[in-house]
Amino acid sequence: MHASIVTLFPELFEPFLRATVLGRAVQKGLLRVDLTDMRAFGQGRHRIVDDRPFGGGPGMVLMAEPVVRAVEAAREAHGTEVRTIYLSPQGRRFDQSIASELAAAPDGFILLCGRYEGIDERALDLLALEERSLGDYVLSGGEAAALAVLDATARLVPGVLGDDRSAPEDSFSNAQGLLDHPHYTRPASWRDVPVPEILLSGNHAAIAAWRHEVALERTRTRRPDLLAPGSAYNPEPTRPSLTDTPTQGSAGADKEA
Ligand code: SAM
Protein backbone atom coordinates (compact mmCIF):
# COMPACT_ATOMS: atom_id res chain seq x y z
CA MET A 1 0.00 0.00 0.00
CA HIS A 2 1.37 3.39 -0.95
CA ALA A 3 0.12 6.45 0.92
CA SER A 4 1.33 10.04 0.91
CA ILE A 5 0.57 12.60 3.58
CA VAL A 6 0.62 16.31 2.77
CA THR A 7 0.99 18.20 6.02
CA LEU A 8 2.58 21.12 7.81
CA PHE A 9 3.68 18.72 10.56
CA PRO A 10 5.44 15.69 9.05
CA GLU A 11 7.25 15.12 12.33
CA LEU A 12 3.95 14.06 13.95
CA PHE A 13 3.85 10.95 11.74
CA GLU A 14 7.40 9.75 12.24
CA PRO A 15 6.92 8.06 15.67
CA PHE A 16 3.87 6.18 14.37
CA LEU A 17 5.77 5.04 11.30
CA ARG A 18 8.49 3.59 13.49
CA ALA A 19 6.24 1.83 16.02
CA THR A 20 2.92 -0.01 16.14
CA VAL A 21 1.27 -1.90 13.31
CA LEU A 22 2.25 0.82 10.86
CA GLY A 23 5.93 0.58 11.79
CA ARG A 24 5.97 -3.18 11.30
CA ALA A 25 4.23 -2.83 7.94
CA VAL A 26 6.81 -0.29 6.78
CA GLN A 27 9.66 -2.54 7.92
CA LYS A 28 8.19 -5.51 6.07
CA GLY A 29 7.89 -3.43 2.91
CA LEU A 30 4.09 -3.82 2.90
CA LEU A 31 3.48 -0.14 3.45
CA ARG A 32 5.14 2.91 1.95
CA VAL A 33 4.29 6.31 3.40
CA ASP A 34 5.72 9.47 1.84
CA LEU A 35 5.55 12.67 3.87
CA THR A 36 5.26 15.92 1.94
CA ASP A 37 6.00 19.01 3.97
CA MET A 38 3.67 21.76 2.82
CA ARG A 39 6.00 24.34 4.34
CA ALA A 40 8.59 23.53 1.64
CA PHE A 41 6.15 25.05 -0.87
CA GLY A 42 5.56 28.22 1.17
CA GLN A 43 6.27 31.70 -0.09
CA GLY A 44 9.40 33.74 0.51
CA ARG A 45 12.26 33.31 2.88
CA HIS A 46 9.88 32.45 5.72
CA ARG A 47 8.01 29.87 3.64
CA ILE A 48 4.67 31.43 4.44
CA VAL A 49 1.69 29.15 3.77
CA ASP A 50 -1.24 31.04 5.32
CA ASP A 51 -2.90 34.44 5.28
CA ARG A 52 -5.89 36.26 6.78
CA PRO A 53 -9.37 35.40 5.46
CA PHE A 54 -10.95 37.69 2.88
CA GLY A 55 -14.14 39.13 4.32
CA GLY A 56 -12.66 39.28 7.80
CA GLY A 57 -13.10 36.96 10.73
CA PRO A 58 -10.79 35.10 13.06
CA GLY A 59 -7.92 32.78 12.22
CA MET A 60 -5.82 32.13 9.16
CA VAL A 61 -6.43 30.26 5.92
CA LEU A 62 -3.96 28.01 4.08
CA MET A 63 -3.17 29.65 0.75
CA ALA A 64 -4.05 27.87 -2.48
CA GLU A 65 -0.62 27.91 -4.12
CA PRO A 66 1.46 26.03 -1.49
CA VAL A 67 -1.33 23.49 -1.01
CA VAL A 68 -1.71 22.80 -4.73
CA ARG A 69 2.03 22.58 -5.33
CA ALA A 70 2.50 20.24 -2.38
CA VAL A 71 -0.31 17.91 -3.55
CA GLU A 72 1.00 17.98 -7.12
CA ALA A 73 4.47 17.04 -5.84
CA ALA A 74 3.00 14.15 -3.83
CA ARG A 75 1.02 12.97 -6.87
CA GLU A 76 4.21 12.58 -8.89
CA ALA A 77 5.17 9.52 -6.84
CA HIS A 78 1.83 7.80 -7.56
CA GLY A 79 0.05 6.46 -10.63
CA THR A 80 -2.50 8.57 -12.48
CA GLU A 81 -5.47 7.01 -10.65
CA VAL A 82 -4.25 8.07 -7.21
CA ARG A 83 -7.09 9.06 -4.86
CA THR A 84 -6.57 12.38 -3.14
CA ILE A 85 -8.49 12.85 0.09
CA TYR A 86 -8.84 16.06 2.03
CA LEU A 87 -9.49 15.29 5.70
CA SER A 88 -12.28 17.68 6.58
CA PRO A 89 -15.19 17.83 9.03
CA GLN A 90 -17.36 18.72 6.02
CA GLY A 91 -16.70 15.49 4.12
CA ARG A 92 -18.62 12.25 4.05
CA ARG A 93 -17.82 10.03 7.01
CA PHE A 94 -14.73 7.85 6.67
CA ASP A 95 -15.68 4.24 7.37
CA GLN A 96 -14.55 0.64 7.02
CA SER A 97 -15.81 0.37 3.42
CA ILE A 98 -13.63 3.29 2.38
CA ALA A 99 -10.71 1.84 4.35
CA SER A 100 -11.05 -1.38 2.31
CA GLU A 101 -11.15 0.56 -0.94
CA LEU A 102 -8.06 2.57 -0.04
CA ALA A 103 -6.09 -0.47 1.15
CA ALA A 104 -6.60 -2.01 -2.30
CA ALA A 105 -6.23 1.18 -4.38
CA PRO A 106 -3.70 0.25 -7.08
CA ASP A 107 -2.23 3.74 -7.35
CA GLY A 108 -2.43 4.41 -3.62
CA PHE A 109 -3.84 7.52 -1.99
CA ILE A 110 -2.86 10.95 -0.73
CA LEU A 111 -4.16 12.46 2.50
CA LEU A 112 -4.21 16.24 2.67
CA CYS A 113 -4.20 17.67 6.19
CA GLY A 114 -5.70 21.10 6.71
CA ARG A 115 -4.93 23.50 9.56
CA TYR A 116 -6.22 26.80 10.95
CA GLU A 117 -9.61 27.76 9.44
CA GLY A 118 -9.00 25.40 6.53
CA ILE A 119 -7.79 25.68 2.93
CA ASP A 120 -8.57 28.29 0.29
CA GLU A 121 -11.58 26.79 -1.51
CA ARG A 122 -10.05 27.41 -4.93
CA ALA A 123 -7.29 24.89 -4.18
CA LEU A 124 -9.87 22.26 -3.20
CA ASP A 125 -11.83 22.87 -6.42
CA LEU A 126 -8.73 22.72 -8.61
CA LEU A 127 -7.44 19.51 -7.07
CA ALA A 128 -10.78 17.68 -7.49
CA LEU A 129 -10.49 16.12 -4.05
CA GLU A 130 -12.65 13.73 -2.11
CA GLU A 131 -13.44 15.08 1.34
CA ARG A 132 -13.65 12.64 4.23
CA SER A 133 -14.49 13.32 7.84
CA LEU A 134 -13.59 11.35 10.92
CA GLY A 135 -16.82 12.40 12.62
CA ASP A 136 -19.01 15.32 13.59
CA TYR A 137 -16.46 17.21 15.64
CA VAL A 138 -13.70 19.65 14.77
CA LEU A 139 -10.03 18.79 15.16
CA SER A 140 -7.27 21.39 15.13
CA GLY A 141 -5.73 19.78 12.08
CA GLY A 142 -6.05 16.86 9.70
CA GLU A 143 -3.04 14.98 11.09
CA ALA A 144 -4.89 13.02 13.78
CA ALA A 145 -7.49 12.08 11.16
CA ALA A 146 -4.80 11.05 8.66
CA LEU A 147 -3.22 8.77 11.25
CA ALA A 148 -6.56 7.11 11.88
CA VAL A 149 -7.08 6.59 8.14
CA LEU A 150 -3.55 5.21 7.72
CA ASP A 151 -3.96 2.80 10.61
CA ALA A 152 -7.41 1.60 9.52
CA THR A 153 -6.22 0.98 5.95
CA ALA A 154 -2.77 -0.53 6.62
CA ARG A 155 -4.18 -3.26 8.88
CA LEU A 156 -6.30 -4.49 5.95
CA VAL A 157 -3.25 -5.14 3.77
CA PRO A 158 -2.48 -8.88 3.74
CA GLY A 159 0.54 -9.67 5.93
CA VAL A 160 0.32 -6.55 8.09
CA LEU A 161 -1.50 -8.15 11.02
CA GLY A 162 -0.02 -11.16 12.80
CA ASP A 163 -2.92 -13.28 11.54
CA ASP A 164 -4.70 -12.43 8.29
CA ARG A 165 -7.92 -13.96 9.67
CA SER A 166 -8.23 -11.12 12.22
CA ALA A 167 -9.33 -8.15 10.10
CA PRO A 168 -12.17 -9.92 8.21
CA GLU A 169 -13.73 -10.90 11.55
CA ASP A 170 -13.65 -7.41 13.04
CA SER A 171 -16.63 -5.11 13.49
CA PHE A 172 -18.07 -3.86 10.15
CA SER A 173 -15.79 -6.23 8.20
CA ASN A 174 -17.40 -9.61 8.86
CA ALA A 175 -19.77 -11.13 6.31
CA GLN A 176 -22.89 -9.42 7.67
CA GLY A 177 -21.28 -6.15 8.71
CA LEU A 178 -22.05 -6.78 12.40
CA LEU A 179 -20.16 -5.55 15.42
CA ASP A 180 -17.59 -8.06 16.65
CA HIS A 181 -18.52 -10.64 19.30
CA PRO A 182 -17.00 -10.27 22.82
CA HIS A 183 -13.57 -11.73 23.50
CA TYR A 184 -12.22 -13.50 26.57
CA THR A 185 -8.84 -14.90 27.56
CA ARG A 186 -7.21 -16.68 30.52
CA PRO A 187 -7.97 -17.15 33.36
CA ALA A 188 -11.25 -19.00 32.75
CA SER A 189 -12.56 -17.49 35.97
CA TRP A 190 -11.46 -13.98 36.93
CA ARG A 191 -12.69 -12.29 40.16
CA ASP A 192 -15.32 -15.02 40.30
CA VAL A 193 -16.60 -14.15 36.84
CA PRO A 194 -16.40 -17.18 34.55
CA VAL A 195 -16.10 -16.94 30.78
CA PRO A 196 -19.19 -18.21 28.92
CA GLU A 197 -19.07 -21.99 29.23
CA ILE A 198 -19.57 -22.62 25.52
CA LEU A 199 -16.12 -21.14 24.80
CA LEU A 200 -14.50 -23.94 26.80
CA SER A 201 -16.50 -26.71 25.10
CA GLY A 202 -14.19 -27.28 22.13
CA ASN A 203 -17.31 -27.47 19.92
CA HIS A 204 -16.30 -25.10 17.11
CA ALA A 205 -19.66 -25.09 15.35
CA ALA A 206 -21.49 -24.28 18.59
CA ILE A 207 -18.94 -21.55 19.42
CA ALA A 208 -19.35 -19.97 15.98
CA ALA A 209 -23.16 -20.04 16.35
CA TRP A 210 -22.95 -18.45 19.82
CA ARG A 211 -20.57 -15.76 18.64
CA HIS A 212 -22.83 -14.91 15.73
CA GLU A 213 -25.89 -14.69 17.97
CA VAL A 214 -24.12 -12.40 20.46
CA ALA A 215 -22.69 -10.22 17.67
CA LEU A 216 -26.15 -9.85 16.17
CA GLU A 217 -27.71 -8.99 19.52
CA ARG A 218 -25.10 -6.38 20.39
CA THR A 219 -25.42 -4.85 16.92
CA ARG A 220 -29.21 -4.65 17.41
CA THR A 221 -28.85 -2.90 20.75
CA ARG A 222 -25.76 -0.73 20.17
CA ARG A 223 -25.87 0.07 16.47
CA PRO A 224 -29.27 -0.75 14.95
CA ASP A 225 -28.40 1.60 12.09
CA LEU A 226 -25.92 -1.01 10.82
CA LEU A 227 -28.76 -3.45 10.25
CA ALA A 228 -30.95 -1.02 8.33
CA PRO A 229 -31.34 -1.84 4.63
CA GLY A 230 -28.99 0.32 2.66
CA SER A 231 -26.51 0.80 5.50
CA ALA A 232 -22.93 0.84 4.25
CA TYR A 233 -22.33 -2.60 5.77
CA ASN A 234 -25.64 -4.30 5.14
CA PRO A 235 -25.36 -6.38 1.99
CA GLU A 236 -28.89 -5.71 0.82
CA PRO A 237 -29.59 -5.62 -2.91
CA THR A 238 -30.74 -2.02 -2.41
CA ARG A 239 -27.41 -1.01 -0.92
CA PRO A 240 -26.09 2.02 -2.80
CA SER A 241 -22.68 1.61 -4.36
CA LEU A 242 -19.98 3.76 -2.81
CA THR A 243 -19.17 5.01 -6.26
CA ASP A 244 -22.76 6.07 -7.03
CA THR A 245 -23.27 9.73 -7.74
CA PRO A 246 -24.34 11.25 -4.40
CA THR A 247 -28.05 12.05 -4.33
CA GLN A 248 -29.06 15.63 -3.73
CA GLY A 249 -28.86 16.58 -0.07
CA SER A 250 -27.17 13.36 1.06
CA ALA A 251 -23.56 14.11 0.32
CA GLY A 252 -23.41 17.64 -0.92
CA ALA A 253 -20.00 18.30 0.60
CA ASP A 254 -18.33 15.38 -1.17
CA LYS A 255 -16.08 16.35 -4.01
CA GLU A 256 -15.26 12.86 -5.17
CA ALA A 257 -13.87 12.90 -8.68
N1 SAM B 1 -13.27 25.85 9.74
C2 SAM B 1 -13.39 24.44 9.47
C3 SAM B 1 -14.82 24.00 9.58
O4 SAM B 1 -15.49 24.45 10.52
O5 SAM B 1 -15.29 23.19 8.77
C6 SAM B 1 -12.58 23.62 10.48
C7 SAM B 1 -11.09 23.76 10.31
S8 SAM B 1 -10.23 22.70 11.43
C9 SAM B 1 -9.95 23.75 12.80
C10 SAM B 1 -8.63 22.55 10.70
C11 SAM B 1 -8.41 21.29 9.89
O12 SAM B 1 -8.58 20.14 10.73
C13 SAM B 1 -9.32 21.05 8.73
O14 SAM B 1 -8.92 21.78 7.59
C15 SAM B 1 -9.25 19.56 8.54
O16 SAM B 1 -8.14 19.19 7.73
C17 SAM B 1 -9.00 19.03 9.95
N18 SAM B 1 -10.21 18.48 10.60
C19 SAM B 1 -10.95 19.07 11.55
N20 SAM B 1 -11.97 18.30 11.92
C21 SAM B 1 -11.90 17.18 11.20
C22 SAM B 1 -12.70 16.00 11.11
N23 SAM B 1 -13.80 15.84 11.86
N24 SAM B 1 -12.33 15.04 10.24
C25 SAM B 1 -11.24 15.19 9.46
N26 SAM B 1 -10.45 16.30 9.49
C27 SAM B 1 -10.77 17.28 10.33
How does pLDDT run along the chain (257 residues), one tens digit per residue? 999 999 999 999 999 999 888 999 999 999 999 999 999 999 999 999 999 999 999 999 999 999 999 999 999 999 999 999 999 999 999 999 999 999 999 999 999 999 999 999 999 999 999 999 999 999 999 999 999 999 999 999 999 998 988 899 999 998 889 999 999 999 999 999 999 999 999 999 999 999 999 999 999 999 999 999 877 666 554 433 444 443 333 333 344 33
* Reported pTM: 0.90
Rounded distance from Cα 56 to ligand 1 centre (Å): 19
Domains in the chain: ranges and CATH = 2-154 (3.40.1280.10), 180-222 (1.10.1270.20)
15 flagged as catalytic: no
Amino acid at 250: S
Is the beta carbon of 7 within 6 A of some atom in ligand 1? no
155 flagged as catalytic: yes
User: How many residues make up the chain in this entry?
Assistant: 257
Rounded distance from Cα 176 to ligand 1 centre (Å): 32
For 222, residues 6+ apart whose C-beta sits below 8 A from its C-beta are 179
**The predicted structure's pLDDT at residue 234:** 63
CB-CB contact of 113 with 119 (8 Å): no
Is the beta carbon of 87 within 6 A of some atom in ligand 1? yes
Residue 164 CA to its chain's centroid (Å): 19
CB-CB contact of 178 with 215 (8 Å): yes
Between CA 58 and CA 156 the distance in angstroms is: 40
Rounded distance from Cα 8 to ligand 1 centre (Å): 14
Is the beta carbon of 118 within 6 A of some atom in ligand 1? yes
User: Distances in Å between the alpha carbon of 174 and those of 84, 126, 233?
Assistant: 27, 38, 9
Is the beta carbon of 117 within 6 A of some atom in ligand 1? yes
117 flagged as catalytic: yes
User: Distances in Å between the alpha carbon of 156 and those of 7, 151, 173, 220?
Assistant: 24, 9, 10, 26
CB-CB contact of 26 with 32 (8 Å): yes
Rounded distance from Cα 130 to ligand 1 centre (Å): 14
**The predicted structure's pLDDT at residue 252:** 33
Which has the closest alpha carbon to 242: 105, 72, 74, 87? 105
Between CA 146 and CA 149 the distance in angstroms is: 5
For 107, residues 6+ apart whose C-beta sits below 8 A from its C-beta are 2, 78, 79, 80, 81, 82, 83
Is the beta carbon of 88 within 6 A of some atom in ligand 1? yes
Which has the closest alpha carbon to 47: 34, 66, 71? 66
Reported in sequence order, the residue ranges of the chain that DSSP labels E, i.e. its strands, are 2-7, 32-37, 50-51, 61-62, 83-93, 109-113, 130-133, 189-190, 193-194
